[in-house]
Structure 1
Amino acid sequence: MKSSSLHLSECLKTAVNAAHAAAAILQAHARHRGDLIIDKKAQNDLVSQADREAEAAIIETLREQTPNFGIVAEESGGSSAATATWYIDPLDGTTNFLHGIPHYAVSIALIAHAGSTCTGEQALQQDTPVIGVVYDPNREELFTAMHGVGAWLNEYRISCSHTESLEDSLLATGLPFRDFSFYDQYMPTLSAAMHGTRGVRRFGSAALDLAWVACGRYDGYWEMGLAPWDVAAGTLIVREAGGIAEDLHHVAPWPIGGHLYAGNRHIAPALHALIQPHLTVAATTGGQ
């Protein structure tokens, strides 16, 4: 694989294989949750033996197949590379997993850096998500996306909903649980959404929230204080499903700062307009 050109179909196959390997480890541990070794990184920020083993399996696959790419992973860190960088969350929804709630996923994304090219395309002008994989092992739902090609749920192409107004929309969000620095910005947006929509859901997995926007289960989604690996794959899946997924402050080409909004082409702008009056600080880094 050339250092400046990305063969996306090969990269997608690699990411899917890595996601399945990680999910097999997670599901094996899920049957014996009481035996897991759990560490507390910070307030409400947990990591288990399952997270670490799943991440190691993903990294092994990615390094074997794409040795020239950078890797940034939730538990082991890492660094970016000149051409492209993998962003990995081996278990998005760790708290759900540890409590036996079957709503969590493996999330893997490839970010192509400015100047890189995809097969048959001109060089990218900015950092761009080009591969997205979100795998829900409990429902056996594999969400995938490839830049410029489309998004799928298992073998079926997906698209965002067609809801046109906020008052008819069902939204997803994530409540502050670890980083409360943006609490005063977030709470007014939640109140406005509760009063101006059909309802708001909080299920505890950003990757699945975005995937569910992409397949039309939710009409829109917003959250603050996330990490890049939480949102990288889902951002592309929403975009390739015909939707919008952007940084809330519009300071980055994708929501690397962890403050984002997403939705179909009607709901996303309306959702951003609802949130924007309450934003006071432009964040440049995610809730890591």
Structure 2
Amino acid sequence: MDTYDQPRSMGSPIDLCATIDAAVTAAHAGAAILQSYAHHRADLVIDRKARNDLVSQADREAEAAIIQELRARTPQFGIVAEETGGQAQGSATWYIDPLDGTTNFLHDIPHYAVSIALIAHAGASVSAGQPLAEDAPVVGVVYDPCREELFTAVYGLGAWLNGRRISCSRTQTLDDAVLATGFPFRDFSFAGQYMPMLHDAINRARGVRRMGAAALDLAWTACGRYDGYWEMGLAPWDVAAGTLLVRESGGMCSDMHKRDSWPIGGRVVAGNAAIGQALHEMIAPHLDKPD
């Protein structure tokens, strides 16, 4: 490889120990605000961003607390957050969803989470490793405050649930698999592609679940509760942390079109190697070609 093809170095290596600690602290700070509103949902100020796309003051205040913590501890990184936006910059960028599962939260359904991930950009180094050839999640935290389950992952080191190492299921066929998915709820432009996929999954798998929180779908795939997961129409902050959880649990998590280095476009397929491949084969006949 010629020197100009080498990934460009971006200064000092990213300290993964310091960044995972910052992410866990920030996740707890955000979750504390969510739970402070949990028994006062009727008092929440709720805005409608679009059809079936709601945001409450709980989302906004939790996001502010998370950003404050991350900026104080890692000012060198960019921030992209669901409610306040931002842009990727520097050697790495935080992707933040302060409340994944807002509709569940607002309806008192105890299935929602805080999701925080650090995406290292091509050319960045982590610990003492070589510069990354492409963008990749290197730190991931998904915290479910209702169950007090903290999912964490660090690039190259593994994934854990409340400090216990986790791994994807060993299920080898769709016939034996319980799958997770998410229905179109906001953007219905891809319903024509998705509905035949769902039809095939219902007829082939042991069961299909739709719980309404993508970050937890990925976390549950990482720890083997689900055997596989696919969804369309998501945002980068929905899947950034969960992508690393699955990968560090021995599974695969990829862009549905196998085009991007992680599912930044919001079309995701995840599972162990066998189920992930089977899902790709199941959805491929119904998937439009990318633009």
TM-score, scaled relative to structure 2: 0.96
> What's the CA shift for 1:281?
3.6
2:17 counterpart residue number: 9
SS at match of 1:28: helix
Separation of aligned partners in 1, 2:118 and 2:51: 29
Aligned AA for 2:17?
S
1:282 counterpart residue number: 290
**Aligned: 1:231 with 2:268:** no
> What's the CA shift for 1:43?
0.4
**Aligned: 1:25 with 2:33:** yes
Deviations 1:12-71 (CA, angstroms, capped at 9, x unpaired): 000000000000000000110000000000000000000000000000000000101000
Whether the 8 Å CA contact 1:38–1:49 is kept in 2: the answer is yes
Correspondence list, 1:121-136, <5 A: 121-136=129-144
Separation of aligned partners in 2, 1:58 and 1:105: 13
SS at match of 1:47: strand
RMSD of Structure 2 on Structure 1 (CA): 0.9
1:137 counterpart residue number: 145
1:259 counterpart residue number: 267
2:79 counterpart residue number: 71
Aligned AA for 1:239?
R
2:50 counterpart residue number: 42
Unaligned runs of 5+ in 1: 284-288
> What's the CA shift for 1:251?
1.2
Separation of aligned partners in 1, 2:77 and 2:12: 11
SS at match of 2:202: helix
Deviations 1:141-162 (CA, angstroms, capped at 9, x unpaired): 0000000000000010000000
1:269 counterpart residue number: 277
> What's the CA shift for 1:204?
0.2
> What's the CA shift for 1:117?
0.1
Whether the 8 Å CA contact 1:25–1:53 is kept in 2: the answer is yes
Q: For 1:83, which of 78, 91, 112 is the aligned residue? A: 91
Aligned AA for 1:39?
D
2:111 counterpart residue number: 103
> What's the CA shift for 1:282?
1.8
Q: For 2:167, which of 159, 164, 170 is the aligned residue? A: 159
Aligned AA for 1:42?
A
Aligned AA for 1:238?
V
Between the two proteins, what is the percent identity of the paired residues? 67
Whether the 8 Å CA contact 2:13–2:128 is kept in 1: the answer is no
Separation of aligned partners in 1, 2:284 and 2:63: 35
Separation of aligned partners in 2, 1:156 and 1:282: 39
Whether the 8 Å CA contact 1:143–1:151 is kept in 2: the answer is yes
Separation of aligned partners in 1, 2:183 and 2:25: 32
TM-score, scaled relative to structure 1: 0.97
* Structure 1 segments of 4+ aligned residues over 4 angstroms from their partners: none
Separation of aligned partners in 2, 1:243 and 1:251: 18
Separation of aligned partners in 1, 2:253 and 2:142: 15
Whether the 8 Å CA contact 1:107–1:229 is kept in 2: the answer is yes
Separation of aligned partners in 2, 1:131 and 1:282: 29
> What's the CA shift for 1:3?
4.5
SS at match of 2:119: strand
Q: For 1:175, which of 178, 183, 194 is the aligned residue? A: 183
**Aligned: 1:207 with 2:215:** yes
